[in-house]
A = this chain, B = another copy of it.
Amino acid sequence: METLFTLDFTVRDYECDLQGIVNNSVYSNYLEHARHEFLKTIGLNFAELTQAGVFLVVTHTAFHYRKPLKSGDAFSVSVAHQSSSKIRGEFLQRVIRQSDDALMLEGTVRWASIDDKGRPIKSLQVAEALHNAAHTSPQL
């Protein structure tokens, strides 16, 4: 899968726990923020979709924690994507420390599109935007 988007971050001290490293749960925040910013670049606004009754929900995540981020670390989060249908897809995301290009975490995030009753619904807007992104974006 090709990288479609990359976002830069800096660790904030409040994200570190009593081990002095970024708490595991915070990576989930980082990856979500990178996905939502990516969605905006292809014309999809998560908050607007939610208000319109299209709920993009995460159905499965698998995170491989390789090295811990620490206070002040600058890092990038990449986003790749493959659709498996018009209502499901999977993101592949990597967290790379900028000082030495070390791979800190890689994860997969599967999503589905549901309505406000929790039933799967096709969203052509979402499906097309993701399909086009995967076929036209240059390697970043």
Binding site for B on A (CB under 8 A): 12-14, 16-20, 23-26, 28-29, 32-33, 36, 40, 45-47, 50-51, 55, 57-65, 67-68, 70-72, 118
Given A16-B17, A58-B65, A61-B62, 10 other A-B residues pairs in contact with their CB atoms under 8 A: A13-B17, A13-B32, A16-B47, A19-B50, A19-B57, A20-B47, A25-B29, A40-B72, A60-B63, A68-B118
- Known contacts A16-B17, A29-B12, A65 near B60 by CB under 8 Å: yes
Contact, CB under 8 Å: A47 / B71: yes
Integer count of this chain's copies in the complex:
4
Closest CB in chain B relative to A35 CB, distance in Å: 9
Q: Please, which residue of chain B has its CB at the minimum distance from the CB of A58?
A: B24
Contact, CB under 8 Å: B60 / A62: yes
Interface of A is mostly: mixed
Distance of A68 Cα from B25 Cα, bound (Å):
17
Most chain B CB atoms below 10 A, which of A17, A29, A58, A63: A17
B-side contacts of A63, CB under 8 Å: 60-62
Contact, CB under 8 Å: A16 / B18: yes
Contact, CB under 8 Å: A14 / B33: yes
